[in-house]
Amino acid sequence: MKYLFYTWKLGCLLLLVFAGCSSKKSVSSYHSFESECLGVELDGSETLRAWGRGKNRTDAIEQAKKNAVRDVLFKGVAAGSRECSVRPLVTEVNAQERYAYYFNDFFRDGGEYLKYVSMEDKKTNSDMKTSNKTQISYSTTVRVLRSQLQQKLIEDKILKP
């Protein structure tokens, strides 16, 4: 009987040790907040699903538009459909910092970037939302007018023809 008691006690101790060493289960999953390609139009524009964060829905969607244009300009769009150009428009190293005076004005609230973003491919209820205590993240469908944006950068002498 004494042997059975010690065996049971040892078994419980081992069970507690192994249960305490298990990996912590995550409540929320990791979500990638990078722009993804949905398609390319015949005029050279790219349709993207872009994410933005803000204190409310309007701020988050405005940030998503900026992120979509910034990705087309400086990163290229690798996620999603292979139709979009993986190559960014501006291939010069550190161009965003070098031309900071230009791009800070270009991306200001209500700035020039709005001329190169269209919401015409957006479908009703296509936005996705995630949130935490301080910020809301929204994804939305935007069309970036890549060829017109490229022409503007050539005119402003950021890109060479």
Q: Residue 26's pLDDT band (boundaries 50, 70, 90)?
A: very low
- Is 70 inside a domain boundary? yes
Query: Is the residue at 44 inside a domain?
Result: yes
User: How much of the chain, in percent, has pLDDT values that exceed 90?
Assistant: 10
Q: What integer pLDDT is reported at residue 117 of this predicted model?
A: 92
Question: In the prediction, which pLDDT does 36 show?
Answer: 85
pLDDT at 85 over 80: no
By residue range, what is the domain housing residue 45? 35-125+136-161
CB atoms within 10 A of CB 90: 18
**104-151 pLDDT per residue, tens:** 998 888 888 899 898 865 555 555 556 666 778 888 889 999 889 989
Residue 92 falls inside a structural domain? yes
Q: Give pLDDT, residue 65.
A: 92
Q: Domain count of the chain?
A: 1
DSSP line for 46-65:
EEEEEEEEESSHHHHHHHHH
Q: Is residue 63 part of a domain?
A: yes
The Cα–Cα gap between 18 and 35 comes to 41
CA dist 159 and 161 (Å) reads 6
SS3 category, 79: strand
For residue 143, tell me if it sits in a domain.
Answer: yes
Note whether residue 47 is domain-resident: yes
The pTM assigned to this predicted structure is 0.72
* Lowest mean pLDDT segment, chosen from 17-21, 44-48, 64-68: 17-21
